[in-house]
Amino acid sequence: MWRMSEPGRLMLLDTPSLYFRAFFGVPESVTAPDGTPVNAVRGLIDMIARLVQDRSPDRLVCCMDADWRPAFRVAALPSYKAHRVAEDGGDQTPDALEAQLPLIDAVLDAFGLARAGVPGYEADDVIGTLAARHAARGPVDVVTGDRDLFQLVDDRGPVGVLYTARGIRNLQVMDEQAVAAKYGIPGRGYGDYATLRGDPSDGLPGVPGVGDKTAAALVTRFGSVEGILAALDSGADEGFPAGARRRLEAARDYLAAAETVVRVVTDIDAPELAALDDRLPRGARDPEALVELADRWNLGSPVNRLLNALAR
């Protein structure tokens, strides 16, 4: 378990996960003076304020989806997020949320909070890359409502996940021990576990007939999907639950494709990340712009809460 007092703490926000949560958690009746909904903006600012106040990071990056359904993942597995594609080919972001996204960017920039997205990649991949870079220098907290990022937990860094399923005030702290206790797998084995059992929310079918318990047993026994495939190649039957070997043999093509889809990228080489200043500001970078945004969009209270949290 990592300690709050350790220096050099980096906090990586799965920003789309947070603003979707804010949008559905704060009533759309929360509006600007002209009647425009600002519930996602206000909710996100309050979430960041609470995280800064309670967790005291030294560095913070708001990680973004530059591509919510990257081509390399769709090429590997066409079903990836296919059920979320709208008629126009984009995603199914509600119009009232879509309209707030430019305002979210503007507010984050006025505060001076680092914001990072890379063309062709999801926020998860930005998070994975920044976590891998920083882990040798200090602890990393990943804030998300997406279980896929449990694959990043690593007590050696340490890298941990602050899981938002119960809300920002009731974060679940997920390290290797917590992942192992919840899923019955090695602490760093969540990606392999998810590949085997599947995830309907992402259009990931999993291996037919392999559920949670069988997936956990396989990952525990063989360590990874790669280890499972090696065992299949060896012709050995030992360690496979009843019927699992046959199911896995039939799913070889899926397993090869799903590895590309499920595994978070940890080595993006892009200018957007090369010169990123992730130091947490102690005040607004552009106070005039922030005041103008707060006045125009009825954001005064959450803006002041975040300013107070930054100042402390």
The alpha carbon of residue 135 and the mean position of all alpha carbons in its chain are separated, in whole angstroms, by 17
Per-residue pLDDT tens, the chain, 312 aa: give them: 333 334 489 999 999 999 999 999 999 999 999 999 999 999 999 999 999 999 999 999 999 999 999 999 999 999 999 999 988 888 889 999 999 999 999 999 999 999 999 999 999 999 999 999 998 889 999 999 999 999 999 999 899 999 999 999 999 999 999 999 999 999 999 999 999 999 998 999 999 999 999 999 999 999 999 999 999 999 888 889 989 999 999 999 999 899 899 999 999 999 999 989 999 999 999 999 999 999 999 999 999 999 999 998
**Smallest Cα–Cα separation from 36: which of 291, 293, 286?**
293
According to the model, what pLDDT value does residue 3 have?
38
Residues 15-24 as b or e (16 or more Cβ within 10 Å = b):
bbbbbbbbbe
* Cα torsion angle, 16, 22, 24, 25, sign: positive
Helix (H) or strand (E) holding 261: helix 252-262
Q: What is the pLDDT of residues 145-170, one digit of tens each?
A: 999 999 999 999 899 999 999 999 99
According to the model, what pLDDT value does residue 90 have?
81
User: How far is it, in rounded angstroms, from Cα 33 to Cα 215?
Assistant: 52
According to the model, what pLDDT value does residue 88 have?
81
- Helices then strands (H, E): number in the chain? 15, 6
pTM score above 0.75: yes
- Reading the block at residue 259, the tokens are 């590895």
- Reading the block at residue 232, the tokens are 């299949």
According to the model, what pLDDT value does residue 236 have?
80
Task: Using alpha carbons, list the distances in angstroms from residue 104 to 16, 17, 56, 199, 246.
Answer: 11, 13, 22, 29, 50
Q: What is the pLDDT of residues 202-246, one digit of tens each?
A: 999 999 999 999 999 999 999 999 999 999 999 888 889 989 999
Task: Using alpha carbons, list the distances in angstroms from residue 52 to 45, 200, 251.
Answer: 11, 33, 45
**Residue 33: CA atoms inside 13 Å, Cβ hemisphere, count?**
8
Bridge partner residues of 13 (DSSP): 62, 143
Tell the burial category of 244 from Cβ atoms under 10 Å away from its Cβ (0-12, 13-18, 19+). buried
Q: Where are the beta strands (DSSP E) in 135-286?
A: 140-144, 159-163, 172-174
- Coil, helix or strand at residue 142: strand
**Smallest Cα–Cα separation from 103: which of 31, 168, 25?**
31
- Reading the block at residue 171, the tokens are 């974060």
- Coil, helix or strand at residue 84: helix
**Smallest Cα–Cα separation from 115: which of 268, 18, 13?**
13
User: How far is it, in rounded angstroms, from Cα 220 to Cα 214?
Assistant: 10
User: How far is it, in rounded angstroms, from Cα 133 to Cα 267?
Assistant: 9
Is omega for the bond preceding 94 within 30 degrees of 0, making it cis? no
